[in-house]
Structure formats: structure tokens, C-alpha cells
Amino acid sequence: MSALPLSGIKILDLTRVLAGPLSAQMLADLGAEVIKIERPGGGDDARAFGPPYLSDPEGKANNNNSFYLCANRNKKSVTVNIATAEGQDIVRELAKTCDVMMENYKVGDLKRYRLDYESIKAINPGIIYCSVTGFGQTGPYAPRAGYDAILQAMGGLMSVTGHLDGEPGAGPMKVGPSIVDYMTGMNSSIGILSALYHRKANGGEGQHVDVCLFDTVIASLSHYAQIFLVNGQTPPRRGTWGNGGMPAGVFRCTDGELMLVVGNDGQFQRTCGVLGAPELATDPRFLKNNDRVVHGKEIMAIFAGLFLKKPVAYWLDELEKAGVPSGPINDFSQVFADPHVKSRGMQVKVDHPLQHDLSLIRNAITFSGTPVKEYRAPPLLGADTRDVLATIGYDDAKVEALKAQKIV
């Protein structure tokens, strides 16, 4: 089998919680060796973010919960107390041998430990140093801590998410998953990969990559934010309505709901036929997509009445025959039971010390020549400390002495 795309790349990962760890996990999936630095005793903050935790065969409490498990596969866990001089020395020694160093501490925190970019650059000029923060390395908010939900609010995402004004429960709403963390992790990975390519192709220079949740969420608002930049008006919340073609949204049927997106005029005509109301396609209010956007509430109300006549499966079957994009509203049990999801292998099994068939979500990228086929379970806290420190000259006696001092 061909080597993975990032084979030979070594990453020192000082990130915690979600955005940074997700980025490091993506790079680890692609073949990079990722050394995760965790606090002795407690480890990554995510380990304490609550249940569910894996069950220990002996009934002991442990720190392997879903939040940690989702973002830390294919890594090595090394415990180091970076608040101590000896711990800082260990991190610097490891950094000398790495291509990339990642961190998500508050701006300036690592400078007092001489683990900031300038300090690491002095001992490894080619290092790609990626800082992941809430608000970035510069600007008046730079010193602030930032979590996903705060940035969903401050970045404008919540202002355009939620029920339509006038509907029950209308008002700003957070997106369910920590979507800003995930997107920030993707941007971090793109930044690191771009910097690695630049270093290889353009003379061997390293650099500091600054990625933050605030920039990411604003950039992610794409056409929503562009509407404001064009006309100065914030788009209204649309609930489940689509973002282009109309009509688009959730429609209730006799036994449940489905999601429909009518993307163009041809699809609209065919949908009207499926619904038994072909005359709607020639109604002057609905002839073109722009017309249907203007008269959105009217066409959505008409469609709502028509969909109430038959069950979900009937409509999905007929819409598929007509080539109109639609789908069921699945919960997670339905997602992972879906034959297409199974065929794509989105659920992978790993051998974890506490659960030999632990399910994880596979990396979403598929390569023809360098496929990601093997996954290693998210490591137990400190599982690789001894082996990794041996690579920088720490023998067993030295490691035991450091353990006694709670440095590792």
C-alpha cells in the first residue's frame, strides 16, 4: 500500500478541547505522526467535559469520554507539566525534531514558558507554528478566551439561525454541534498544509499560522454575510427554508417530515406534477425562481398543504423518480443504518483498551492512491510518554524520576 500523504511529517500538538485537536486528528489520519501533550493527572480539558464515558471492565472511573474520543485518534499521548522548567525543556527538545507545532493557549500564555513562536523558531527555524484561538493573535479581543457558542453568537451565525420571525419559538438559535470548532479545525489544517508546501517549494522557511474561531465563523457565513455587504441588510432567519432555490424546506407529511430543495425552474415544474398541481408551474407568481423567492411564503404554504396528503416514503419515491432533490430527516440511528452511509464506510471500528470494537467516524476524505485505511484508537492519558521521551534521550530511570516529581 502507498504511504499516506503526510507520512514523514511530525507534529507536536499542545491543543486541547476541540478545534485544535480536530485539526491535529485530520493530519494524523493522513499519516502525520502527532505527539499530543497533555497535563499529568487531568489531561486534555475535553476529558472532563462529561459523559458518556467508556465502561471500564473493572468498573473504575476513567477519562475516555465521547468529547475526547471524537478528536484524538491516531495520536500519541505524552504527559508533560509545561508549568515546570523541566517540562518546558522536554517540549522544546521535542519541537526541535518536529515539522509543526500546534497550540491553543490564550495569546501570550506560552511566552512566559519560552514555548511561543519566536522561542521555538529560534531552535527550529523551519517550524510551522499554528496558533488556534477564539479571537486571533491581534486586535482588541485577542486576550479573550473563546468557545464555540460564544463565537456563534458574536460572529452573526445565531442571528440568521432559528425559526422565522412570527413563528412560535422565533429568535436567535445556536447550531447544534460545535460547528465553528469543526470549521476552525479545517482552516487550521489548510493553513498548516499550505505552510508546509510553501516551506518545501519556496526555500525552506517556516512561519506562524494564526487561525481563530471569530474569523472562521464570519468567513463561513458566505452568501449570508455578502447580502449584508451588498445592501446593508441582515438576512432574516429562515428556519428550515433553503438558501437559493425556492420552495425549499421541511414539509410535514401524514407520518413525518421530509426536506425538499427545488433548485431550478425545471425541478419546480416536475415537483408540481408530483404533487398533483401542475397549474402552479404556470402561475405568474411562481414562474421563475426569483418570482418564487419574492412569493416564498405563498408557495411554501401551498406546498405545505399538498404534502400533508400522503406519507413520507411515497413522496420521496415520487420525487426521486422526478429527479427532484429531497431526503428524509434522519436521526443518528437512521444515519448510521443508511445503506449509502454503510457503503461509504463512515463508521469505523478501532481496538481501544476499554472497548475492543469502539466505533468512530472515519475521515471524510477519500483518496484513490493513498487511502486512509487504518485507525488507531484515541490514546489513554500518557500512554506513549515513555516511548516518545526515549527518542530524545530520556531513559527509564530519568522518566521515573520525572514521574515522581509529577513533571510527566
Which positions are catalytic? Answer: 181
Q: Which three cell numbers stand for residue 13?
A: 500538538
Axis crossing angle, helix 265-274 with helix 312-321, rounded to the nearest 10:
130
Taking CA atoms, 116 is separated from 203, 232, 349, in Å, by 23, 40, 37
Distance CA 260, CA 324 (A): 8
CB atoms within 10 A of CB 91: 22
Q: What length does the chain have?
A: 408
Amino acid present at 13: D
Contact between residue 378 and residue 72 where contact means Cβ atoms under 8 Å apart:
yes
Burial class (CB in 10 A: 0-12, 13-18, 19+), 184: buried
**313-324 exposure pattern, b = at least 16 Cβ within 10 A, e = fewer:** eebbebbeebeb
Beta strands in 309-408 (DSSP E): 326-328, 347-352, 355-361
Distance CA 214, CA 198 (A): 25
Distance CA 354, CA 56 (A): 6
